[in-house]
Every structure is written in C-alpha cells, then in structure tokens.
Amino acid sequence: MLKKIEWHSQIGRRLHLRQLHVFSVVAERGSMAKAATQLGVSTPTVSEIIADLEHAVGVRLLDRGPRGIEPTSSGRALLGRIHVVFDELSHAIQDIELLADPTAGEISLACPLGIAFSIMPHIFERFAKRFPRVVLHFDEVTADSTTRDLRALRDRRYDLLLGRGGLSMQIENPTTQDLNIETLFDDELVIVAGARSKWVNRRRRIDIADLVDEPWILQSSQTGNYRMLAQAFRNRGLPVPRANLVTLSMSVISHFLANGPFITAIPRSVASFSSLKTLPVDLPVQPWPVNIVTLKNRTLGAATKQFIECARDFTRTMRKAESNGRHNSRV
C-alpha cells in the first residue's frame, strides 16, 4: 500500500523547482545523458536530482523501457502537473513584467482559415496599436482539427482558441466542462459571387433551385460549410451541387469568383471582409457561433485578457448587426 505523502514535511520543505525541471527534461529526452547535455551538467548530477525527487514523493518516477527512460504512471501524473506549475509561474512573471510595462507580454493562439481571413487581422491590428510590445504567436488551423487544437489548449500550448462550428460546443457536454466558451457573435452561411456574375444586383430573391447547375466552388465534405449547404439543398429535395473546384483557399476562391461565373457558400463574416457579393438567397440553415475558448482552471495572463477584450470590442458591431437582422426579420 502506498504510504500517504505529507505535503508539509515531504513536499513543502524538500521539493524544488530545479528537480521538477530536470525530471521533465529527462522524460522528454528519454535519457539522463541527453538531459545532462541539454542542462549543462553531469549525468551523475541528473541521476542524483531524480533520486532526490523520487525520495521526496515516495514513488518511482522513471523506468527503463525499450525506447530508453520512460515515466512510470506516477511519473506521467506528475508531468501533467509540472506543465501546469511552470505555465502558471510563467504567467506570474509576465504579470509582474506588465506591472512595470503594461504593453509587454506574449500570447499563443489559433483559429481556422475563415476567421484568420476575416476578423482576425483586424483584431490583431487594433491590439497591436494598443499593445505594441506584446508578441503574438499565431497558428492558422483547419476546421476539422478541433480535437487536436483543444488538446493543445489543454496542454497549455495555446492561451486561447477562436473557432466556429466545431468549437461551438454545448456547455453541458461533459467533454467541455473544463472550458470557458464565450460567443463573440453568430455567423451564418451565405452564397456569394464575383462582381461580374450574372446573379449580382438582382433585386428579387433567388431560389436555390436555380443554382443547382451553376459552376460551384465548394469546400471538402468534412467541413461545416459543405454539410450545411448540402443539407439546405436536400431539405428542398434538390441534389447537392456538383463542384467544379474543391478548395479552402480564400485567395483561390476570390480569384475564380472575380474572373468567372462561379459561386460558392461561405460565412457572412468572411464575405463582409472581401470584395465578393452576397446573393439574395434564403438558406434555411441555423447560424453558428464564433467563440473564444479558454481553460477554466488556468489563470489568464494580463495580455491575454486584453486581447480577449479587444476581440469583444471589435465584434461588438457584428453582434449589433446580427441583433438588428433578427429584429427586422420579425417586423
């Protein structure tokens, strides 16, 4: 039976951050010799530090496996918490630095292509003017990588995510109980064309039945855009349009729509920040929210809080437009 570990006597007085750091490097490198080289100390020193750590916690943390040194189940449990400890300390240091210089700090974030194309550059621009010394580490991800992106958020590789569709999870979903999910605005799917299209500048509504045989640019069948568009046609008993081109690239989509007869379906927010023309087509599909997602059990740094506030501020007009649209539709 495992002996109960007393925090005050065994951990509070005997556990050191250096031990945790050395342990995490050994676990990452899979070798005490490689860890020693990285840390700039001798292998016996690393071995002694690990032995002291194991003595402090009262369990074995490392075993030799077929791929070198690997954490035990207890070691893996400790590693997960070590990441949290060093992440919180890193944010604490940043907060201290921000007290001296409120314009400094770092933020790591990610969002899918559509948001990266539309609202994100404008949020970045506004934020950079207010906080020019904050460094933004930004990744553009695919819409179908939600599971991987949430894992990175939980592993604290990202401070926050912006997402549509896949990240619009219900709060009661048990897999999202550790997440803060804040909706910035509700987006909707619209059909667009280039300025030279024969469908542009029509005053009367266009029935989607008239668009079945038009040349379409579609996204892959795994995307929310495609699924919602396909459902709209199926609900009318119509075949799903055949794609002449399948791509997620907004530069390619914009080029072909501007210079040809093509049409496509994209979120209204994306259309609003492009030269594409929204066609007067009623698509009976539900709007889906654009969310900011953070971890509940993670203390957000001051710079991250400022970025979130900047995102709220920029999208406020989009929330008002959405609210006015709902009101007008009821009149």
What CATH number did the domain enclosing 60 receive? 1.10.10.10
In the predicted structure, residue 103 carries a pLDDT above the cut 70: no
Residue 152 belongs to a domain: yes
Question: Half-sphere exposure (CA, 13 Å, Cβ side) for 329?
Answer: 7
**Do residues 17 and 130 share a domain?**
no
Residue 96 belongs to a domain: no
Where does a domain end: 251, 267, 286? 286
The pLDDT tens digits of the residues spanning 142-178 come to 766 778 888 899 988 999 999 886 544 444 455 778 8
In the predicted structure, residue 319 carries a pLDDT above the cut 50: yes
| Average predicted confidence (pLDDT) for the chain | 84
**Do residues 161 and 281 share a domain?**
no
pLDDT, position 290: 92
pLDDT, position 331: 32
**Do residues 170 and 297 share a domain?**
yes
- Quick one: pLDDT band at residue 126, thresholds 50, 70, 90? very high
Rounded to an integer, the average pLDDT of 283-306 is 87
**Do residues 21 and 147 share a domain?**
no
Residues of the domain holding 241? 189-286
Residue 94 belongs to a domain: no
Number of compact structural domains in the chain: 3
pLDDT, position 1: 44
**Do residues 193 and 181 share a domain?**
no
Rounded to an integer, the average pLDDT of 63-67 is 82
Q: Which residues contact 223 (CB under 8 A, 6 or more apart)?
A: 143, 144, 248
**Do residues 147 and 200 share a domain?**
no
Q: Which residues contact 134 (CB under 8 A, 6 or more apart)?
A: 103, 104, 105, 106, 107, 127, 128, 303, 306, 307
Residue 214 gets which letter from DSSP? S
Residue 265 belongs to a domain: yes
SS3 216: strand
Question: What are the helix (H) ranges across the chain?
Answer: 17-29, 32-39, 43-57, 73-100, 113-117, 120-130, 146-154, 224-235, 250-259, 268-272, 302-330
Query: Distance between CA atoms of 283 and 233, rounded to whole angstroms?
Result: 9
**Do residues 127 and 261 share a domain?**
no
**Do residues 172 and 310 share a domain?**
yes
Indicate the burial class of 303 (C-beta count within 10 angstroms; 0-12, 13-18, 19 or more).
buried
Q: Which CATH number is 234's domain given?
A: 3.40.190.290
pLDDT, position 4: 54
**Do residues 176 and 293 share a domain?**
yes
Rounded to an integer, the average pLDDT of 167-196 is 79
What is the rounded (10 degree) CA torsion for 273, 248, 221, 167? -60
Closest CA to 175 of 154, 160, 157, 145: 154
DSSP H/E element including 139: strand 133-141
Which residues are 191's β-sheet partners? 265
Closest CA to 211 of 282, 114, 267: 282
**Do residues 156 and 204 share a domain?**
no
Residue 91 belongs to a domain: no
**Do residues 194 and 270 share a domain?**
yes
pLDDT, position 124: 96
Query: Residue type at 96?
Result: I
Q: Which CATH number is 311's domain given?
A: 3.40.190.10
Sheet-wide strand order for 263-267 = 243-246, 216-218, 263-267, 189-193, 277-278
What sign does the CA torsion over 103, 92, 20, 138 have? negative
**Do residues 199 and 282 share a domain?**
yes
